[in-house]
Structure 1
Amino acid sequence: MSEGTMQRRVQRDQRAKRLNRVLAGAAAVPVMLVAAGCSSDSGSGDSADKAAGAGASASASASPSPTVQAAAYSRLPEACKVLSKKTLEDLAPKAKSGKEGNSDDISTRASCSWDSLDNNGVKGSQFRWLNVSMLRFESDAARGAADKLAQEYYAKQVQDAQAVEGAKATASEPVTGTGDQATAVHYDLKKKEGTFKQQTVVTRVENVVVTVDYNGAGLAGDKTPSGKDLLEDAKRAAKEAVAAVSEANGGGGGKASGAPSKSPSKGASKSPSKSPSKSPSESSGKSASKEAAKPASKKPVAKS
């Protein structure tokens, strides 16, 4: 074989190898394109899923928050001014002035008490103790409407008054013509100073609960006052206090004298809750007779 022939054969082999490499490269291109296409499709699907999720989240966040009806009453009257001068002269004739109870916010919680001791020396003495406390509730999206919260507290106050330790002849009765709900609880407390006739009237008017405590005793041998008369006096004080709450709020909402309110609360409790609450009596006297006059109660467990 000549040298020229061998050279041509080598050239043909080299061209064949180059052609094979070109063909191999051309075959790989579609594979890469297919892989790229799959990758692109996958990314598009993920983006769509993410977009759908974001839309759902935005829709959920755009949903309106639950709302509750606004409270009917936004303020309380001055506690020591809720009773008329005439009523104070009749119920606590020897009281020089009312003692305002401690409160972090008098627009929400307020109270006032009066001590009266008619000392007749060897003929004995007549003691009277009067306390008016008011608690106002605000509507809360988590806890509920203000009037419903007041209704629950009202039931607890009644239950608390009915469960005083050492009370004798405890009795309860509904009171009409005062607020949206009203209950009177009365009983006797025998102390070394004498027998104290306790009267508690719990009233709810819209989102405010008013509690009137009134008791009397004949000391040093004087006669025990009439429980019936004291109860009527306590009801009188409760009615005036409820009217003062309504007046402090422009006379709107609730009912102070028995007239139906525009939107009376439903579900009035016939059987008060058994849960204890704060004592209706929040003031403390300095003398032993004053301490004995105040109704005992269970330790409070809840706020308003």
Structure 2
Amino acid sequence: MSEGTMQRRAQRDQRDDQTVQRTGRLRAALVGAIAVPAMLVATGCSSGDSGSGSDSDGAKASGGAQTSSSASASPTPTVRPAAYATLPKVCGVLSKKTLEELVPEAKSGKEGTTSDTSTRANCSWDSLDNNGVKGSQFRWLNVSLLRFESDVTRGEGDKLAHEYYEKQVKDAMAVAGAKNTKSEPVAGAGDEATAVRYDLKKKEGAFKQQTVVARVENVVITLDYNGAGLAGDKTPNADDLTKAAQKAAKEAVASVTAANTGKGGGTSAAPSGSASPTASASASASAKKS
């Protein structure tokens, strides 16, 4: 073999090796190119599965929160029922004997008009003992009863009654034109009681006014009692009127208790009105004083 022939063969072999090398590199590049999308696809699938799991877990967590929220929802507000559900017949809260002492010339009581006697009522008596040229003795008595129902938004019946009781006492202490106003607590007349007394000058004469406000449970009793000596007769003794008013107030309290418990009481008056009165008494006021 000539030297030229050997040289050409060597050059051809060299070219073949380079071709093989390029072919190998190309094959490796193609394999790498195929592998990269496969990895991206695998990564994408993995990421999708993870997201799906997170959404599922979130939904479960949300569902659990809703269930927990529903289970722990606040219950419907409640309030303790009022102790007393009715009132006695208001013109029967005082015994005949007591009425003879306070208003001896009164024939009968006059009951005020009301739409619901189970929540509010009042009765009044007036007495004029005419002594001819010596003048006359006048007495006036009024008993008002106001019962409060428990209310979810406003509170328990006895609490509402207490607030009204305090207002009644305050009003009695602030009567226009009153002179020598005094007040004192009254023992033995329900849960709390106050007697207010004052002098009041009217065109008919000088009046001695006594107001006893008492609360028993969710009921407020307001007893007004006044007296005057007219046409020249002497003015009645304020201390005597106060004692009489306090005695009558205690009797009225006992009658209210008896109407709701069937025990004790200063009168045999039977309960009246519905056992399930409306809550309207919470906003009502007692009858106006004469």
TM-score interval (norm. to shorter): 0.7 to 0.9
RMSD value, Cα = 2.9
State the shift of 1:31 in Å.
5.1
Q: Deviations over 1:42-64 (max 9, x none)?
A: 32133033113203321331x54
1:42 is matched with which residue?
54
2:228 aligns to what? 217
Which residue is 1:227 aligned to? Answer: 238
Q: Secondary structure at the match of 2:87?
A: coil
Q: What is the SS of the residue equivalent to 2:249?
A: helix
Q: Using a 3 Å threshold, how does the CA distance of structure 1 residues 229 and 238 change in structure 2: closer, same or farther? A: same
Contact 2:146–2:286 under 8 Å retained in 1 = no
Question: Comparing 237-246 with 45-54, which one deviates more in the overlay?
Answer: 45-54
Q: Distance in 1 between matches of 2:194 and 2:265?
A: 15
Identity value in percent: 61
Give 1:208 shift: 1.3
| Residues 64-143 of structure 1 aligned to structure 2 (within 5 Å) | 64-65=75-76, 67-143=78-154
1:16-48 CA-to-partner distances (Å, cap 9, x unmatched) read 9xx99xx59866643552353244123213303
- Picking from 52, 56, 70, the partner of 2:68 is 56
Tell me the TM-score normalized by structure 1. Answer: 0.70
Which of these residues, 205, 209, 230, is aligned with residue 198 of structure 1?
A: 209
> How big is each residue's C-alpha offset from its partner over 1:169-209, in whole Å with a ceiling of 9 and x where there is no partner?
01111112221211111000011210010001111112211
The one-letter code matched in structure 2 to 1:60 is S
Deviation at 1:256, TM superposition (A): 6.9
Alpha carbons of structure 1 residues 280 and 201: separation in structure 2 relative to 1, 3 Å: farther
Instruction: Tell me the SS of whatever aligns to 2:169.
Output: helix
Name the TM-score, length of structure 2 as normaliser: 0.74
**Runs of 5+ consecutive residues of structure 2 not aligned to the other structure:** 1-26, 267-282
Matches of 1:279 and 1:166 in 2, distance apart? Answer: 22
Contact 1:157–1:279 under 8 Å retained in 2? no
CA distance in 1, matches of 2:174, 2:119: 26
SS of equivalent to 1:218:
strand
Q: Distance in 2 between matches of 1:215 and 1:205?
A: 23
When residues 278 and 140 of structure 1 are mapped into structure 2, their CA distance, relative to the original with a 3 A threshold, is closer
Question: Does the CA contact (< 8 Å) of 1:161 and 1:280 recur in 2?
Answer: no
Residues 58 and 219 of structure 1: CA distance in aligned 2, closer, same or farther (over 3 Å): same
In 1, Cα distance between equivalents of 2:288 and 2:48: 80
Structure number with greater Rg is: 2
- The answer to whether the 8 A contact 2:213-2:221 is kept is yes
Q: Is the 8 A contact 1:157 1:278 kept in 2?
A: no
| Residue 196 (structure 2) aligns with | 185
User: 1:282 aligns to what?
Assistant: 288
Larger helix share, 1 or 2: 2
How far off its partner does 1:121 sit?
4.3
